[in-house]
Amino acid sequence: MGKKAVDILQIDVQRLIELLNAALSEEWLAYYQYWIGSRLMEGPMRSEIEPELLLHATQEFNHATLIVSRIIQLGGTPVLHPREWFSLARCEYEAPTDPYVEVILEQNLKGERCAIQRYKELADFTNGKDHTTHQMVTTILGEELEHENDIEEWLTDLQRMKDELRKLRL
Ligand SMILES: [Fe+2]
Ligand SMILES: [Fe+2]
């Protein structure tokens, strides 16, 4: 990182790198959670939801790419071993042992809400102190909010579908 670039940062850079490495670990776990969940998923609307989950997975991968670049720019070392993802991540990885579509979506929803909290905190931490990181984390936050919204809408649609079927049976 250039001298002036370091000078204008009014932030605890080591702490920032730690937080970014935690976010990076969470992105990889979210990527895999989406990806493997979409492969295994069973139940109604599967064919519509599967490609959307794969798109979310790709977006989580893109977030990881952005974060790695910023950690390197800040003079830090991105997490080097996947083993560390679990100790650094605060968001839990839930193995999709039940492939039912609603269960998979609920797992992903938990992950998104955890990610939203992570990027809100990173946005607060960098606000007015590191404009470059701040811009990056608010962009990512916007996408996590869209992900949460997408999942909530699918869960609502599934619920409506079940309610309609129940009415037909009465
Ligand atoms: Fe993400
Ligand atoms: Fe997300």
Q: Which ligand is nearest to the CA of 23?
A: 1
Q: How far is the CA of 11 from the centre of ligand 2 (A)?
A: 26
Mean pLDDT of the chain: 95
What string of DSSP letters covers 98-144?
S-BHHHHHHHHHHHHHHHHHHHHHHHHHHTTT-HHHHHHHHHHHHHH
Residue 9 has what pLDDT?
A: 86
Taking a 5 Å cut-off on Cβ, the residues next to ion ligand 2 are 112, 144, 147
Residue 53 has what pLDDT?
A: 97
Q: pLDDT of 130-153, one tens digit each?
A: 999 999 999 999 999 999 999 999
* Distance in angstroms (rounded) separating the CA atoms of residues 28 and 48: 24
Residue 3 has what pLDDT?
A: 74
Q: How far is the CA of 24 from the centre of ligand 2 (A)?
A: 12
Q: How far is the CA of 97 from the centre of ligand 1 (A)?
A: 22
- Whether 170 has a pLDDT exceeding 80, the answer reads no
Phi and psi at 10, nearest 5°, equal: -115, 65
**Residue 100 in 3-state DSSP?**
strand
Q: How far is the CA of 41 from the centre of ligand 2 (A)?
A: 18
